[in-house]
Chains A and B, each alone.
Chain A
Amino acid sequence: MDQRQHEVIERWERRWVTFGGVMLLCFVGLIVFVLATEGAHIVHGGGHITPAEIAQVPLFSNPGATELSTGEFQVGIVAQAFSFNPPTIDLPVGAHARFYLTSKDVLHGFMIERTTVNVEVIPGQLAYADYRFTRPGSYHVVCNEYCGINHQDMIGTINVLPAAEYRQKVAAGTAAGQAKPLPEVAGGQAGTGAAGAAPTANGSQVYAANCASCHGPDGTGHPGAFPPLAGHAPALYRADRGYPIDVLLYGLQGKITVGGQVYNNVMPAWGQLSDAELAAVANTIMHDWGNATALPSDYQAYTAQEVASARGKGLSAAAVRTQREKLGLP
């Protein structure tokens, strides 16, 4: 390499590094500008909230959309394996929504497709992010952080409806994913949750929205991870009629054996669903997938009142497992 060549290289090198430096400075300037002007859509931290506290915070014990003032929405969402609660939310066009998020169990993602909302949902942390929906349509909400065996099925929906249609649905009580207007305090009767304020519940729908992601659409579960309900639920009924309701209300944590297979996992508590929904889903589970044939002749369907009276027990998920051990299941 001769001297002249060396000089040429050094000259171009200076130009190249200057170009790179100026480019990066421009990028930094742009980023700071965007953050200052419209940075609200990027996640903010809202402090701590433990999974145990979720049931005591109205935003999450009664999750869903609340219209604070015209067009301004607060939307509480709980992420849990493998669904969002509520799974479906209706909002009007033009809604400016602030999404509050936390997780009941492990890390999840909350990404609304075709928007700038993308949040890492971390148990123990409260997160919020803003978005204004200007176009009507159905938006998928995708969990984009690996959360377990059915991670791919953790998908919710936000329906952005024409304003008039949204108002109609709210008036008729059929709008999905709306928080209950007046949060109740007494008796632990928390919100209406997933399916909105429907007075009677459809067990199959509740199952599909909340249970199928782990226990499978056909109740067969997932070997080693989540126990089957098909062929197993009637045995629980026979052992103790009240036990399945306790599992639904308070969850179940610890090692259990079903059909010779060991499961060491956690089922979250579903107390945020209404009494009618829980009774309906319990009945669906007892009847579907051929379970009905294994039920005793004196079988009686569960009622919402029965669920309501079991809410007072205040059990822990580990205590439910202790209860299960005493049932003497095969």
Chain B
Amino acid sequence: MAVGSLTRTSPAAVAWRPEKRVTAAFLITGLVALLIGALLGPFQAFNYGDVNLYRYLPFLKSYYQGLTLHGVLNALVFTTFFNCGVLIYFPARELDMRPSLGWLWASYLVMVGGLVLAGIAILSNNATVMYTFYPPLQGSWDFYTGLALVVVGSLMVAFEVVRLRARWRRANPGKATPIVTFMSTATMLMWALASVGIVVEVVVFLIPWSAGWIAGVDPELARTLFWFTGHPIVYFWLLPAYVSWYAFIPKQVGGELTSDTLARLAFVMFMVFSTPVGFHHQFTDPGIPRGWKLVQNILTFFVVIPSLLTAFTVTSSMEVAARKRGGRGVLGWIGKLPWNDASFAAQVLAMISFIFGGAGGIVLASFNLNVLVHNTAFIPGHFHITVGTAVTLTFFGMTFWLIPHLTGKKLFSPRLALWSAWTWFVGMMLFAVGMHWQGLLGVPRRAWISNMLPNLQGVYADARVPQTITLISGTILFLAIVFYFTVLFGTLFSRRRVEEDSVAIPFPEYRGSRPGRATRALDRLGLWFLLAAAVVCVAYLPTLIHLFTGQVPLPGLRLW
């Protein structure tokens, strides 16, 4: 593997073992959750190929129970655990400062406790409510409590990240925060602001309601609070991938980041504009005024800008490196990139998937186009090439150097790792073609279409071709899962060790010059956080006040 040479070898690599252990715990727990969730994926894909394989899963009562498990484990558990692991570890190593281990283990245990509680609720079929859990469908109290604990644990980690940076700043006055720490802190601050919605929804309404302490919950209010967090959460998933693309990929291809300032600007923009955008999931809701929907539509387009910046900066960094390696021509340099390096290949394929994912996202964020595909199969098609590929495949690519780095084990079969990246990419792209296409033909999302009443069969007959594509993609993705987790567990259980810290974190080079004015201005994260909170208040408060004061509380129902 062509991961960079030793750049920042800690004088005593061994000294970092406790931090490595807690980081590995976060990562491996997340990846095991992903394994379980992902194994259900092909069953979902086959359903959208009109083949009902759920009948062969005796421990699940229905497709809907399996889909709830798939969504919660992949989208909520895997991502949150992975993010918490990397977003504290990278800053600690970059700043060369120790985080509070006791605090991190406590956060980890809170999150695991939440995972167990929610897992029991879903597996016992008491919370078949999807990972969006819209009331009045009512799951059992342990489901909501479990999810709340996962969020609380992640906020505990966020607190430690912010504290670490504050400690460093006190010790290094006048210096700009190093870039990886800057990005990690901005991400965690964004998440802290964004999580307010789901915390209020779950703690104030859903837990008391499911425990029987309050009689009713207003469905429109709960939905609005959910999407307050539900869209920015996708940036919480995405930004650790951006950390890798900005900070690590240039080094991994033997080059440098072409613009440090732009990278910081992108993260500040994400912090400010990620949250006031949730209404674009509610364009077809009757309870949200159309004017505010349009405002948040426009604010969503603001979040496109930092992704456009990222596309440019990351690509130019790779081009500079490829030309240094002898690459020529307008596109010929692409061939000089280290395509045999599984870590690199996985992440570049992830970037490619995000071009299409991002374009589809602009369609979905457009008020008028959204109605054509809202709640159709188009939506899962979209998020399987954003969170499902851009994020997940980047995380796979990171683990190809990070797991050896953390555990001191040699990567098991780099060749199979490369195969896993390509099969995942091809499988997901095909899946996306099948699902976007089905969505355009009006096939709804989250529907057990392979188990419809006899008199309804044929309702989606004109979707045969995309259904078949989806079915094929499920088969390819099953192979990808087998390949990736063979590499992961092969590495974890390998006896072949690498030298302590010989797989270094590919931190970017430091130029050592004094930070410019722009960098110093961007470094005032506290101020940007306040601006973000102000924008959120303007975009949300009028509607939220209206919904809070005019609630229609309804009792819970269990319809599964």
If A106-B557, A153-B453 touch, whether A31 touches B312 (CB-CB below 8 Å) is no
Instruction: Check B375 against A144 for contact (C-beta < 8 Å).
Output: yes
For chain A residues 214-244, which have a beta carbon within 8 Å of chain B?
Answer: 217, 224-225
C-alpha gap A67/B130 in the complex (Å): 40
Q: State whether the Cβ of A264 lies closer than 8 Å to any Cβ in chain B.
A: yes
Which B residues are in CB contact (< 8 Å) with A208?
A: 455
Choose, from A54-62, A117-125, A169-177, A280-288, the stretch at the interface: A117-125
Closest CB in chain B relative to A112 CB, distance in Å: 9
Which B residues are in CB contact (< 8 Å) with A107?
A: 134, 136-137, 219, 223
Instruction: Check B446 against A127 for contact (C-beta < 8 Å).
Output: no
Q: State whether the Cβ of B559 lies closer than 8 Å to any Cβ in chain A.
A: yes
Q: State whether the Cβ of B371 lies closer than 8 Å to any Cβ in chain A.
A: yes
If A105-B136, A146-B64 touch, whether A118 touches B375 (CB-CB below 8 Å) is yes
Instruction: Check B305 against A17 for contact (C-beta < 8 Å).
Output: yes
Partner-B contacts on A (CB < 8 A): 1, 5-6, 9, 12-13, 16-17, 20-21, 24, 27-28, 30-32, 34-35, 39, 41-46, 48, 50-51, 81, 105-107, 109, 111, 113-114, 116-120, 122-128, 140, 142-149, 151-153, 155, 208, 212-213, 217, 224-225, 264-266
Closest CB in chain B relative to A225 CB, distance in Å: 6
Which listed residue, A5, A6, A118, A123, touches B284 by the CB 8 Å rule? A118
5 further contact pairs, Cβ within 8 A, besides A17-B309, A224-B125: A9-B320, A27-B301, A42-B368, A107-B219, A212-B453
Instruction: Check A111 against B376 for contact (C-beta < 8 Å).
Output: yes
Instruction: Check A225 against B560 for contact (C-beta < 8 Å).
Output: yes
Q: State whether the Cβ of B490 lies closer than 8 Å to any Cβ in chain A.
A: no
Instruction: Check A124 against B218 for contact (C-beta < 8 Å).
Output: yes
Which listed residue, A28, A122, A149, touches B560 by the CB 8 Å rule? A149
C-alpha gap A32/B154 in the complex (Å): 39
If A105-B559, A149-B559 touch, whether A119 touches B286 (CB-CB below 8 Å) is yes
Instruction: Check B137 against A111 for contact (C-beta < 8 Å).
Output: no
A–B complex contacts, Cβ < 8 Å, 26 sampled: A1-B320, A13-B262, A13-B312, A13-B316, A24-B301, A31-B366, A43-B283, A45-B288, A107-B137, A111-B375, A116-B372, A118-B371, A120-B284, A122-B286, A124-B554, A142-B459, A144-B376, A144-B447, A148-B137, A149-B559, A151-B64, A151-B446, A152-B449, A153-B452, A155-B459, A264-B558
| Residue in A closest to B305 when the chains form the complex, CB atoms | A20
Interface string of B519-549 (1 = CB under 8 A from A): 0000000000000000000000000000000
Which A residues are in CB contact (< 8 Å) with B557?
A: 81, 105-106, 148, 265-266
Number of residue pairs A-B, CB distance < 8 angstroms: 205
Interface SS of chain A: mixed
C-alpha gap A39/B369 in the complex (Å): 11
Which B residues are in CB contact (< 8 Å) with A117?
A: 371
| Residue in B closest to A142 when the chains form the complex, CB atoms | B444
| Residue in B closest to A149 when the chains form the complex, CB atoms | B560
Interface size on B, residues (CB 8 A): 70
Instruction: Check A9 against B446 for contact (C-beta < 8 Å).
Output: no
Choose, from B233-241, B289-297, B414-422, the stretch at the interface: B289-297
Instruction: Check B219 against A16 for contact (C-beta < 8 Å).
Output: no
Which listed residue, A44, A51, A105, A119, touches B290 by the CB 8 Å rule? A44
Closest CB in chain B relative to A322 CB, distance in Å: 16
Instruction: Check B316 against A140 for contact (C-beta < 8 Å).
Output: no
Which A residues are in CB contact (< 8 Å) with B220?
A: 122, 124-125
| Residue in B closest to A48 when the chains form the complex, CB atoms | B552
C-alpha gap A31/B366 in the complex (Å): 7
Instruction: Check B371 against A41 for contact (C-beta < 8 Å).
Output: yes
C-alpha gap A7/B136 in the complex (Å): 58
| Residue in A closest to B132 when the chains form the complex, CB atoms | A146
C-alpha gap A325/B309 in the complex (Å): 66
| Residue in B closest to A126 when the chains form the complex, CB atoms | B286
C-alpha gap A24/B452 in the complex (Å): 41
For chain B residues 330-366, which have a beta carbon within 8 Å of chain A?
Answer: 362, 366
Which B residues are in CB contact (< 8 Å) with A12?
A: 312, 316
Point out which of B283, B550, B559, B560 has the most chain A C-beta atoms below 10 A from its C-beta: B559
Q: State whether the Cβ of B201 lies closer than 8 Å to any Cβ in chain A.
A: no
| Residue in B closest to A119 when the chains form the complex, CB atoms | B284
If A107-B137, A113-B442, A118-B375 touch, whether A146 touches B285 (CB-CB below 8 Å) is no
C-alpha gap A116/B374 in the complex (Å): 10
Interface string of B434-462 (1 = CB under 8 A from A): 00000001101111110111111001000
C-alpha gap A165/B500 in the complex (Å): 82
Which B residues are in CB contact (< 8 Å) with A143?
A: 444
C-alpha gap A41/B284 in the complex (Å): 10
| Residue in B closest to A114 when the chains form the complex, CB atoms | B442
Which listed residue, A16, A43, A48, A109, touches B550 by the CB 8 Å rule? A48
C-alpha gap A148/B218 in the complex (Å): 19
Closest CB in chain B relative to A263 CB, distance in Å: 9
Which listed residue, A28, A35, A106, A140, touches B559 by the CB 8 Å rule? A106
Q: State whether the Cβ of B142 lies closer than 8 Å to any Cβ in chain A.
A: no
Which listed residue, A1, A17, A140, A144, touches B258 by the CB 8 Å rule? A1
